[in-house]
Amino acid sequence: MTTELDLLQGTLDLLVLKTLTWGPMHGYAVARWIRETTDDELHVEEGALYTALHRMEKRGWIAAEWGVSENNRKARYYKLTAAGRRQLTGKAAAFERYAEAVFRVLRTA
Amino acid sequence: MAHKPPRRPRLFGVDRTPSGVQRAVDDELRFHFDMTMRELMAGGMNPEEARREAERRFGDVALVRDHLAHIDRQRVGQEKRAEWWSGFWHDLRYAMRGIRRQPGFASVIVVALALGIGANAAMFGIVDRLLFRPPAFLISPERTHHLYFQRVRDGSVFTGNSAQYQRFLDISESATTTEVIGAFSTRRVAVGTGEDTRELTLGAMSASLWQLFNARPVIGRFFTADEDRDIGGANVVVLSYGYWQSKYAGSDSVLGKSMQIGPAAFTIIGVAPKGFAATQLLTPSAFLPIAVSAPQDFGEMWQRYRTTYNITWLEMFARGKPGVSVEALTADLTNAYRRSYDRQVAIQPRTTPIAIAQPRVVLYPVFEERGPEQSADTKVAKWLFGVALVVLLIACANVGNLLLGRALRRHREIAVRLALGVSRSRLARQLLTESLLLAVIGAAAGLFVAQWGGELLRATLMPQVEWESAIADRRILLFATVTALLAGLLAGLAPIFQSRRTDVAVALKAGAREGYAHRSLLRTSLLVLQAALSVILLVGAGLFVRSLQGVSAVDPGYDVDRIVWVEPRLRGAQLDSAQRKALRLALIERARQQPGVEDATVVLTVPFSGSYVDDIYLPGADSASKLGAFLTQGASTSYFITTGTRIIRGRSFTDEDRKGGPLVVVVSQSMARGLWPNQEAIGQCIKTSERTNPCRTVIGVAEDVKYGNFGDDWNLVYYLPEAQLGDNVYSLFVRARGNAANAVDGLRKSLQSMMPGAGYVVVKSLESVVAPSMRSWRLGATMFATFGLLALLLAALGLYGVIAHSVAQRTHEMGVRVALGASTRDVVALVMRESLRTVAVGVVLGVIAALVAGRWISPLLFEVSPRDPTVLAVVVVTLLAVALLASWIPALRAARVEPGVALRAD
């Protein structure tokens, strides 16, 4: 990995919320999903990921529940709440506008 | 690649304790690390490498772990608060629905609580003012004290707050731990000139006393230490706010005006703020520098007041320096007092030696009512506050009983909800919310009661107090709120206890009737408690009513309602003894000519006011003083006609009993009996004042009179013809044809014009002098009776509610009885017997409690034993009668049960 992309403020939340649209999953699965989807391009520190999960749970964007994992172990599952879904829509739109603006600047000759 | 979560309801209980939160975080992280390591090891790493790589990917594990636990704890807190509020709103809505469904039930509860809380709030307002609240504007009440002086005299300890001016100067000079020492004294002084002259209560205070308060003058200024000097001081006066408003309509132009106070003119220099009463409960009309006003009041005697230790006439107050303990302050002031006492012994060698007197200072709160000498009014007020609390207790028992009754009716509903998994604590909270809601509504209504009743109470209890605060002030609101919460809690407890005892299985199996057919011990005990408390209050009411009857029935030995008391005050007019006598005779003559006046006389001793006491000697015998103190009354020939005091034997005074004639005396019946038991008093000889004086012959025996106090039997009174007495300060009694109060104004007008110079007359009905000494009983009787009736009403209400309920739930049983041939009478008797039994237990307990409590109340009673059998009998009969009445209607209803209907029900 030559350049490590530092995550911008709030981007991690966006990634996590988006990931959870696929269905409830535990923290390990979220981390793995992000890693695999981005081909490890985004270097997400897992500690920060868990912090984001718990913070969003506190804000009511996602809800957590203990369940049993595929290998029959007790695991904490997160799922999107209605509020979380609204957040995702809003944040995604904002991020797109933001990225667009940055690109426009970069593309100027 | 999402994992499909198992579709199962919550498998693991959620532990929301801090340690539980931490455990959950650890579990989650352990799962994460296990999974990561497993993945890495599947990729070929050994466990150690896998662990290191997992930790590298994660970041600072310890830091994140703490951070996660912190976030979760916050979230759990949020959740708990949200749940509490949603539960609270739910309970509140539930309670309100209950109230709307049964508005009658709710209003009975609200009225009961409103009466209880209202009575308490009103009484609290008064007791608060009397006992708890420091005087307005007082700086640091905790450091400010009222000085009491203690010394041993004739083997017993004597404590008093009265001090001499010289003592005040001595202690002020030598105390080292005080910031301020002030002196205060109130007295009645004539203010104004001519017909406008009125006696007002004025406060004489040392200039230093202002420093105890952070009061600012409304206009003008207060006086200074330079103005408060007996030589070179200034005749200045500060008006009270109330007097400024009533006399000068609050005008700014009073400053600099002159005001005639006693014999001298004073200049108005300022007005004290509203509510300022210095150290007093009753606001004086104005405040004067003590060293300036006292010499004018006392005239030539001032030198003795100023320099000797003979005359005590002022009170002292001190504020300690910050940080000085009460013990240290007491020790310092005691030292100063002893030093002053040494000076006293040096000047006046007859003073009790310091080793025997052991003088010391005792500190009390500023208000006199909180010191060792409480007035009867305050004692009664304290009792009434206690009584109000008992009324509240009864109201709570009542409300608890009503709520309990309803909880029993909802027995099955509660059982069902318990079976559905509603926790008992949740249920308890719901019941509590309900009773609290009712209590809060009750408190709001109670404040209206307090507002209305408070005015009444203030007017009857403390008519002369200037109440500067609204009745519903902050402290009273606070008090009412706290009371309401406690009442709600107390009333809510009963149904909660009951719900705890609910056995789900039994309740569900039983039909509607068995569901609550068992008699509730709790309900019965509450009923017993109510009955007992009502008995106590009613006994109290009865005792005070009897006291009042007793006091009213006392024949004082003179016609209180017919007599007008006239005090001529010379105020600086210089008259010799003969001129004074002439003035008296002229006043009597003028009074007699007034329409509506029957007769007039001079008097020396005025009942309930001042009295002259003198020694009596019998020839051959020692002093007669072992019988007690003898009261001297100086009288004109018209005395006995004017006062209505009857001559039992012998004769009254005539014009023959003049100066230079044979010396004569009339004695009271008790005195005759005491001095000459089994002998004829008439013709006996007594010597007054000195053993060496000549004999006075007893010419008549008069009926006993009450002069000092309705309670005591101090009846050793002898009457001397004024003509044969030396010069004295006499006043006049005038006998009116009708009620004395109607004659007062006319007499003042006509007699005032006879007074020489700045002299004036003080005219009032004797009734107004005597009445205050009856007030504590009148008050006790009225208030106890009011509260007692309230209690009786509540008890009747409670009883009715419980009996009616118990009859309703036994409809089935009654139906069976009627079907088996029981007559209406049998059923009525059955129901009434049971209710009477309950009440009888309460009555017995109440009577026992009343007998025990009687010991403390007896000092407040008048010639009534606290165990007065009549009172007890009347109360017992009343309560049983009320119980009969309250159970009569439900009993009849029970007897009219149609057996068919009752048996088919449920």
Q: Detail the DSSP E strand segments found in B240-301.
A: 258-261, 264-271, 286-289
Q: How many CB atoms lie within 10 A of CB B370?
A: 15
Tens-digit pLDDT profile for residues B346-379: 888 877 888 888 999 999 888 766 667 677 767 7
Give yes or no for residue B203 having a pLDDT over 90.
yes
Q: How confident is the model at residue B328 (pLDDT cuts 50, 70, 90)?
A: very high
Nearest by CB to residue B3, choosing from A25, A47, A54, is: A25
| CB < 8 Å to B39, chain A | 32
Chain A to chain B Cβ contacts (< 8 Å) = 96
Q: How confident is the model at residue B105 (pLDDT cuts 50, 70, 90)?
A: confident
Is residue B741 within 8 A of residue B716, CB to CB? The reply is: no
Is residue B220 within 8 A of residue B240, CB to CB? The reply is: no
Q: How far is A86 from chain B (nearest CA, A)?
A: 20
Q: How far is B72 from chain A (nearest CA, A)?
A: 7
Q: Is A99 among the domain residues? A: yes
CA-based radius of gyration for chain A = 15
Q: Is A90 among the domain residues? A: yes
Per DSSP, the three-state class of B665 is: strand
Max Cα-Cα span within chain A? 57
| CB < 8 Å to A22, chain B | 2
The pLDDT value recorded for residue B416 is 81
The pLDDT value recorded for residue B64 is 92
Q: Which residue has the tokens 């150290």?
A: B279
Nearest by CB to residue B31, choosing from A23, A28, A36, is: A28
A23–B5 CB contact, under 8 Å:
yes
A55–B71 CB contact, under 8 Å:
yes
Q: Is A87 among the domain residues? A: yes
Computed over every residue of chain A, the mean pLDDT equals: 86
For residue B249, give Cα distances in angstroms to B196, B246, B253, B272, B464.
16, 6, 10, 15, 20
pLDDT (mean) for B10-25: 77
Beta-bridged to residue B360, according to DSSP, are B150
| CB < 8 Å to B2, chain A | 22-25, 29, 33
Is residue A81 within 8 A of residue A59, CB to CB? The reply is: no
Q: How far is A6 from chain B (nearest CA, A)?
A: 14
Question: What gap in Å lies between CA B75 and CA B67, rounded to an integer?
Answer: 12
Tens-digit pLDDT profile for residues B850-891: 888 888 878 777 778 888 888 899 989 988 888 888 888 888
Please tell me which residue, A66 or B520, carries the higher pLDDT value: A66
Nearest by CB to residue A29, choosing from B3, B10, B61, is: B3
Which residue, B393, B490, B401, B387, is CA-closest to B798? B401
> What are the residue ranges spanned by the domains of chain B?
18-96, 141-366, 377-435+467-553+774-904, 560-768
Q: How far is A18 from chain B (nearest CA, A)?
A: 12
**Token duo for residue B516:** 């609550």
Q: How many domains does chain A have?
A: 1
For chain A, the first-to-last Cα distance in angstroms comes to 28
Is residue B302 within 8 A of residue B161, CB to CB? The reply is: no
Q: How far is A94 from chain B (nearest CA, A)?
A: 26
Please tell me which residue, B645 or B515, carries the higher pLDDT value: B645
Is residue B780 within 8 A of residue B544, CB to CB? The reply is: yes
* Structural domain for A102, as ranges: 11-107
Tens-digit pLDDT profile for residues B555-569: 788 888 899 999 888
Nearest by CB to residue A46, choosing from B27, B58, B78, is: B58
- DSSP class of residue B685 equals E
Question: What gap in Å lies between CA B16 and CA B273, rounded to an integer?
Answer: 58
| CB < 8 Å to A77, chain B | 5
pLDDT (mean) for A7-31: 87
The pLDDT value recorded for residue B894 is 76
Which residue, B740, B654, B744, is CA-closest to B699? B654
The pLDDT value recorded for residue B202 is 92
**Token duo for residue B361:** 């200072």
Question: What gap in Å lies between CA B518 and CA B874, rounded to an integer?
Answer: 34
Report the share of chain B in percent with pLDDT over 70.
89
| CB < 8 Å to A25, chain B | 2-3, 5
Which residue, B331, B358, B390, is CA-closest to B153? B358
pLDDT (mean) for B192-198: 78
A35 touches chain B (CB under 8 A): no
Question: What gap in Å lies between CA B474 and CA B429, rounded to an integer?
Answer: 29
Is residue B277 within 8 A of residue B212, CB to CB? The reply is: no
Q: How far is A24 from chain B (nearest CA, A)?
A: 6
Angle (CA) B279-B282-B220 rounded to 5° is 70
Which residue, B509, B491, B391, is CA-closest to B437? B491
A69–B3 CB contact, under 8 Å:
yes
Q: Is A73 among the domain residues? A: yes
Sign of the Cα pseudo-torsion (B260, B266, B268, B272, in order): negative
The pLDDT value recorded for residue B502 is 62
Question: What gap in Å lies between CA B332 and CA B328, rounded to an integer?
Answer: 6
Beta-bridged to residue A5, according to DSSP, are A42
A48 touches chain B (CB under 8 A): yes
What value of ipTM does the predicted structure carry? 0.90
| CB < 8 Å to A74, chain B | 12, 27, 31
Give yes or no for residue B8 having a pLDDT over 50.
no
Query: Which A residues 67-96 touch B at CB under 8 Å?
Result: 67-70, 73-77, 79
The pLDDT value recorded for residue A5 is 47
Nearest by CB to residue B8, choosing from A55, A67, A69, is: A67
Tens-digit pLDDT profile for residues B524-581: 887 888 888 888 888 888 887 887 777 777 778 888 889 999 988 877 677 888 888 8
B57–A22 CB contact, under 8 Å:
no
Q: How many CB atoms lie within 10 A of CB B406?
A: 19
Tens-digit pLDDT profile for residues B774-812: 667 777 777 777 777 877 777 777 777 777 777 777 777
Q: How far is B515 from chain A (nearest CA, A)?
A: 42
Q: Which residue has the tokens 């203030």?
A: B458
Per DSSP, the three-state class of B46 is: coil
Q: Is A3 among the domain residues? A: no
| CB < 8 Å to B4, chain A | 23
For residue A65, give Cα distances in angstroms to A25, A30, A79.
10, 15, 8
Question: What gap in Å lies between CA B57 and CA B723, rounded to an integer?
Answer: 122
| CB < 8 Å to B27, chain A | 74, 76
Computed over every residue of chain B, the mean pLDDT equals: 82
Give one DSSP letter per residue of B374-427, joined into a string.
--HHHHHHHHHHHHHHHHHHHHHHHHHHHHHHHHHHTHHHHHHHHHTT--HHHH
Residue A74's CATH number: 1.10.10.10
B34–A73 CB contact, under 8 Å:
yes
Question: What gap in Å lies between CA B434 and CA B427, rounded to an integer?
Answer: 11
pLDDT (mean) for B417-422: 78
Question: What gap in Å lies between CA B341 and CA B309, rounded to an integer?
Answer: 9
Region of A79 (left: φ > 0; alpha: ψ -120 to 50; beta: rest) is beta
A73–B31 CB contact, under 8 Å:
yes
Chain B residues near any Cβ of chain A (below 8 Å)? 1-6, 8, 10-12, 14, 24, 27-29, 31-32, 34-36, 39, 57-61, 63-64, 67-68, 71-72, 74-75, 78
Most A CBs within 10 Å, among B32, B40, B79, to test the A interface: B32
Is residue B10 within 8 A of residue A65, CB to CB? The reply is: yes
Tens-digit pLDDT profile for residues B699-750: 999 998 877 665 555 578 899 998 888 777 788 999 999 888 888 888 888 8
pLDDT (mean) for B160-188: 91
Q: How far is B370 from chain A (nearest CA, A)?
A: 57
B60–A47 CB contact, under 8 Å:
yes
In b/e form, how buried is each residue of B553-573, taking b as 16+ CB within 10 angstroms?
A: eeebbbbbebbbbbbbbbbeb
Q: Is A24 among the domain residues? A: yes
The pLDDT value recorded for residue B469 is 55
Is residue B483 within 8 A of residue B392, CB to CB? The reply is: yes
Q: Is A17 among the domain residues? A: yes
| CB < 8 Å to B22, chain A | none
Q: How many CB atoms lie within 10 A of CB B465?
A: 16
| CB < 8 Å to B40, chain A | none
Give kind and range of the element (H or E) at residue B613. strand B612-614
For residue B191, give Cα distances in angstroms to A88, B237, B287, B310.
87, 12, 13, 28
The pLDDT value recorded for residue A45 is 86
Q: Is A39 among the domain residues? A: yes
CA-based radius of gyration for chain B = 39
B31–A74 CB contact, under 8 Å:
yes
Which residue, B702, B640, B632, is CA-closest to B673? B702
Nearest by CB to residue B5, choosing from A27, A74, A77, is: A77
pLDDT (mean) for B593-610: 84
Give yes or no for residue B839 having a pLDDT over 80.
yes
| CB < 8 Å to A70, chain B | 3
